[in-house]
Structure 1
Amino acid sequence: MYAPSPPLSMLPDALRDTLEERLDATIESVASVRGGCIANACRLETDAAPFFLKYGPNEVARTFPGEAAGLKALGAADSPLVVPSVHDTVPATKARPGALVMEWINPGREGRRFWDRFGEGLAALHRHTADAYGFDRDNFIGRLPQSNEWTDDWPAFFREQRLAPQADMARERNRWHDGWEAALAALYRRLPDILPKSPEPSVLHGDLWAGNYMVTAVGAPALVDPATYYGHREADLAMSELFGGYDDRFYDAYRSAWGLAPDYETRRDVYNLYHLINHLNLFGGGYAAQVEDVLRPFA
């Protein structure tokens, strides 16, 4: 899903002035590009370098610091995957929208080994670990808040900081079905048996659907728009399968680099319940049937 492209009449003057001062560069032109989802997205040409710019009002700009922190964490991992560097975040004010300024990555076409390199690279990324589950700050999954308080118990983290907040939001928005309550309660009781208690806390992209990777000019995989935290690596793989999935070569390469434990398919559906309820909250009842499909076995 993409936001309407910003008009070619350029940036709001107040934002232009702020960016030129903070980047110590003169903005020469602005071109609308696809991307950004909830934000306006542009290629910013300056006399120093081109940049990728996302901007929007406070409701959008409040997501930028968490996204920037996630990109920095992914970039710090020892992985061959390309991650754009962050140049600046600008908070929104009454006078101007907020902004996130990143390295511009020239797009290209998939190379012959693109999917193999992507799968191998994600496995290498997941080798970058922490001592617990969570992140140094809360962030957002789409427009909705995502809590990342550090926790030692993975099933407890996934219940209390992933499923429960989304279910609460769905109730508040009148998108939750009363008939789901017993199944959700049963799932909560069974989570310690379904999910591993203490898997390696891998750094995760956190929102790894097909719209959040790109192909660089040399045909390499790059990660964008993360909702980063440290968690069970299978949660990233599960999300990659939710809306159509990646090429089979990606999964073969990942498993060759780092195999998966038995019963991944069962855990995959549980991990994707988080994203399905999030989409139910964001986009409405079209996702209710998929939520119900996952909950039905626990009824």
Structure 2
Amino acid sequence: MSPTDPATAAALHTGGTVSGVRDRSGALCEVELLDGRSVMVKQNRAPGATRAEATGLEWLAASGTVRVPLLHGWDERWLVAERVVTGPPGRAAAVELGRSLARMHRAGAPAFGAPPPDGPVEAYIGQAPMRNNAQDSWPGWYAEQRVLPYLRTAVDDGTIRPQEAGTVERLCDRLPDLAGPAEPPARLHGDLWNGNVLWGADGHPYLIDPAAHGGHRETDLAMLHLFGCPQLPSVIQGYEEIAPLSEGWRTRIPLHQLFPLLVHAALFGRGYAEQALDAARSALAV
């Protein structure tokens, strides 16, 4: 049986004795242990969400390319990981992040949409369901598995008007022409906005809260551009030192941002719907 509170979960998965608990958000607590360790305890109520996150962290760590918090343990409700002490985002750490992301992407995946080993097909990106259904062609997979499901949700909820949906549907039809040079499936973090990058006080970047799957490497980088990332030019510099990006990648940023924007539209409403439609129009104008 899964623990019923974060303190019990921390004790179970670390083997330590809890000395204090501090709420960080509705689903996240910081737990202090008597031996001096500090851990983060995250609660996921959606079926399969903790498994998806835990196997994603393990898959990224298994590449030997990026730093993630040490995972002490997890069950169907709780995930317990080390607390990363954070500091300012310096240029050297940003270059390291870019190099690490390039190597992580190069570690690859069996197919587009492939889940991590032992990861669920029915996964999540944030609070939104995300299906990891593997396919060999990126344009078709991206349209069918990452764009159209969230467009349908947004239309059904009234967030995007039916007459507006045609813009996104036209983009999906043109994806084979707009996708740029073919790329092999990359090992993606999958939800790489700035809030999921921790700038460690030790001078190194750490990745948290993945929605990991096989995908196009430009999608992770487009996500960093979407909500802003400190020292982003240095991140890109470090990335291209290891794995130069294909010609025209900057013009394809709106194309790759369409997926997370539609997810946000489905979750949070009209403001993101308008941004998604703008991104679709920009991608079509290339």
- TM-score, shorter chain, exceeding 0.5: yes
SS in 2 for 1:64: helix
Matched, 1:159 2:140: no
Cα distance, 1:176 vs. partner?
Answer: 1.6
1:283 counterpart residue number: 268
Q: Deviations over 1:27-56 (max 9, x none)?
A: 12112336xxxx522221224533211125
Distance (whole Å) between structure 2 residues aligned to residue 112 and residue 167 of structure 1: 37
1:95 counterpart residue number: none
Q: Deviations over 1:228-265 (max 9, x none)?
A: 11111111011110123442111122122211112213
Matched, 1:43 2:27: no
2:162 counterpart residue number: 178
SS in 1 for 2:39: strand
Deviates more, 1:143-152 or 1:184-193: 184-193
Matched, 1:107 2:86: yes
Of structures 1 and 2, the one with the larger relative CO (CA 8 A, separation 6+) is: 2
SS in 2 for 1:217: coil
Q: How well do the aligned residues superpose, as a CA RMSD in angstroms?
A: 2.3
2:22 counterpart residue number: 31
Q: Contact between 1:155 and 1:197, CA under 8 Å: does it hold in 2?
A: no
Q: Contact between 2:6 and 2:41, CA under 8 Å: does it hold in 1?
A: no
Cα distance, 1:14 vs. partner?
Answer: 5.2
SS in 2 for 1:113: helix
Amino acid at match of 2:29: C
Q: Contact between 1:75 and 1:85, CA under 8 Å: does it hold in 2?
A: no
Aligned 1:233-244 pairs, distance under 5 A: 233-244=217-228
Q: Provide TM-score, normalisation by structure 1.
A: 0.84
Q: Contact between 2:151 and 2:165, CA under 8 Å: does it hold in 1?
A: no
Q: Contact between 1:203 and 1:230, CA under 8 Å: does it hold in 2?
A: yes
Q: Deviations over 1:73-115 (max 9, x none)?
A: 1111131x31113222233xxxxxx321112222233345121
SS in 1 for 2:184: coil
Amino acid at match of 2:68: V
2:279 counterpart residue number: 294
Amino acid at match of 1:115: A
Deviates more, 1:142-151 or 1:238-247: 238-247
Q: Contact between 1:109 and 1:218, CA under 8 Å: does it hold in 2?
A: no
Amino acid at match of 2:15: D
Distance (whole Å) between structure 2 residues aligned to residue 14 and residue 275 of structure 1: 32
Distance (whole Å) between structure 1 residues aligned to residue 12 and residue 22 of structure 2: 20
Q: Contact between 2:200 and 2:206, CA under 8 Å: does it hold in 1?
A: yes
Distance (whole Å) between structure 1 residues aligned to residue 223 and residue 109 of structure 2: 21
Q: Contact between 1:123 and 1:257, CA under 8 Å: does it hold in 2?
A: yes
Distance (whole Å) between structure 2 residues aligned to residue 199 and residue 129 of structure 1: 11
Distance (whole Å) between structure 1 residues aligned to residue 236 and residue 9 of structure 2: 44
SS in 2 for 1:218: coil
Amino acid at match of 2:281: R
Q: Provide TM-score, normalisation by structure 2.
A: 0.87
Q: Which runs of 5+ in 1 are unaligned?
A: 1-11, 92-97
1:77 counterpart residue number: 63
Q: Contact between 1:133 and 1:154, CA under 8 Å: does it hold in 2?
A: yes
Deviates more, 1:134-143 or 1:114-123: 134-143
1:5 counterpart residue number: none
Amino acid at match of 2:42: K
Amino acid at match of 1:67: E
Cα distance, 1:62 vs. partner?
Answer: 4.4
Distance (whole Å) between structure 1 residues aligned to residue 147 and residue 31 of structure 2: 38
Closer, same or farther: CA 157–224 of 1 in aligned 2, 3 Å: same
Amino acid at match of 1:141: I
